[in-house]
Amino acid sequence: MMRDRVAPALRELGFQGSGQAFTLPAPDHFVILGFQKSANSDRSEVSFTINVSAVSKAAWRRMCDERTYLPETPSPNTYYCDDAWQQRIGALMPRSDREPWWTVRAGESAESVADEVLNVVRDYAVPAIEDQLGPY
């Protein structure tokens, strides 16, 4: 699902990457979509949610100078501090009674999950990123 359907559609939106992390090239920010798998996922079933991050490169360099253990670039599925804008996709969506987690089961079609994930990225993640950075 990710390789064949989600990743190509994200690339059409300007993202680069594969697997669990996709970056949007921006001159002054690290912009990252992270697909976070549930710890309970296995070969028969994978559950995941989406984390959205936009971190100023200058602020990240300052954080790295102060905290030498930080990686060269932020990880999309790790919370760092309030200086980095990091949100779970559910925080960007209209209120619901649960954080959205999608499940893909082995042997079942994932088309409807892919469609929903792509709609959520287009409708909520991209506008939130634009709010943080301005249009890209």
Which tens digits make up the pLDDT trace of 82-125?
Answer: 677 899 999 999 876 678 999 999 999 999 999 999 999 999 99
Which tens digits make up the pLDDT trace of 73-89?
Answer: 998 888 877 677 899 99
The pLDDT of residue 130 is above 80: yes
Which tens digits make up the pLDDT trace of 16-49?
Answer: 998 899 999 999 999 999 999 999 999 999 999 9
3-state secondary structure the chain: CHHHHHHHHHHHCCCEEECCEEECCCCCEEEEEEEEECCCCECCEEEEEEEEEEEEHHHHHHHHHHCCCCCCCCCCCCCCCCCCEEEEHHHHCCCCCCCCCEEEECCCCCHHHHHHHHHHHHHHHHHHHHHHHCCC
